[in-house]
Structure 1
Amino acid sequence: MGRTAVLVDGFNLYHGMKKQRGRRYLWLDHVGLASRLRPRDQIVDVRYFTATVLDDVGAAGRQQTYLQALKAQHPGLLTIVEGRYQRKCMHCRACGADWTSYEEKETDVNIAVALMEIAASAEIDTVLVVSADSDLCPAVRSARTVNPQLTIVPAFPPHRRSGELRALLPSAFTISETKLRQSQLPPVVRDPATGTKYVRPVYWQ
């Protein structure tokens, strides 16, 4: 039984799931999903990379409920790693309209740093990278140089592909809808330490 770490690109996965089935699978249990994707492995480290939603109180509240539910369901096993969103003022030259856009920052860098840390530690046999972001290719190459024995497997979210990642790592595969459906958190998650309950948002039903 190999020791496996899981690095989840939350932004990449969110948009893939939402494109496939709307909000149906957003209450996702990442440890449960990893266990189904790597049933023969020992899942020892799961890191979920995300960024706090800006300027949408409802969405930010649902996100925080979800993050707390993840930590409560798997205390000590799952870690939340937060990047940030950056506001960008946009202007349309054709019509003169102005609007605010948001760009996620730091997630790919944070995943790359984590991958290098794991490679250098030589304590992990396999890293499952849930992402189809080709920007991770340089980090993958460096990690394999540091630790040639480390197996790195990309798990592409639905409707997300990276030819560059697949060429670099032919073991890449796409996460099926069946695995997502089977890997949902319970409707109500109770924190074993505090007794606090986290309920799946109605908006995500």
Structure 2
Amino acid sequence: MYRPCRQYCSHCKQTTIGHEEKETDVNIALCMLNEAYKDSYDRAYVVSRDSDLKPAIAMVRSVFPHKEIVVVAPPHFGHSTDLLSVANGKRKISKSQIEQCLFPEIVLDPGGNVAAVRPPEYQPPA
């Protein structure tokens, strides 16, 4: 969930209205714990660097010691040491993995109509 917020740019000295992410960490934590209780997974991959998830990961590991939690960092970012301290392991998403997962330049619906066009800035390198 995103909510509007004022953002100040120290470079151009302007204030704009931006959006601030809210409640995502809470929703991830609740889902991870709920699915652990339902025994829906043996291993969870948490793609986040948000240290607010540390208590949830620690709780899952404490209540369900057989469940494995792996924290995953995006390209160009390191892992959260807080999350690593409670997780079973870590992984890293590489730039090439993201490039391999891009949708085609033009996505068609079942009727053959253009459903989406990939923006030019999302084009993979030549």
How high is the TM-score relative to the length of structure 2? 0.76
Q: CA deviation at 1:170?
A: 5.0
More helix by share: 1
Residue pair 1:120, 1:146 contacting (<8 A) in 2 also: no
In the other structure, the counterpart of 2:21 is 104
**Can you list the C-alpha shifts for 1:131-156, whole angstroms capped at 9, x where unaligned?**
11111111111222332221111110
Residues 97, 117 of structure 1: CA spacing in aligned structure 2 closer, same or farther, 3 A cutoff?
Answer: same
Residue pair 1:131, 1:156 contacting (<8 A) in 2 also: yes
For the pair shown, which has the larger CA radius of gyration, 1 or 2? 2
2:90 maps to 1:172: yes
In the other structure, the counterpart of 2:101 is 183
**Can you list the C-alpha shifts for 1:107-166, whole angstroms capped at 9, x where unaligned?**
111111111111111121111111111111111112223322211111101232311112
User: Identity of counterpart residues, as a percentage?
Assistant: 38
- Tell me: higher relative CO, structure 1 or 2? Use CA pairs within 8 A at least 6 residues apart: 1
In the other structure, the counterpart of 2:68 is 151
Alignment root-mean-square deviation, CA: 2.5
Residue pair 1:119, 1:144 contacting (<8 A) in 2 also: no
How high is the TM-score relative to the length of structure 1? 0.50
Residue pair 2:57, 2:87 contacting (<8 A) in 1 also: no
SS at structure 2 position matched to 1:184: coil
In the other structure, the counterpart of 2:48 is 131
Matches of 1:163 and 1:185, distance apart in 2: 33
Residues 141, 204 of structure 1: CA spacing in aligned structure 2 closer, same or farther, 3 A cutoff?
Answer: same
2:113 maps to 1:201: no
In the other structure, the counterpart of 1:119 is 36
Matches of 2:40 and 2:74, distance apart in 1: 26
> What amino acid sits opposite 1:111 in the alignment?
I
| Unpaired runs of at least 5, structure 2 | none
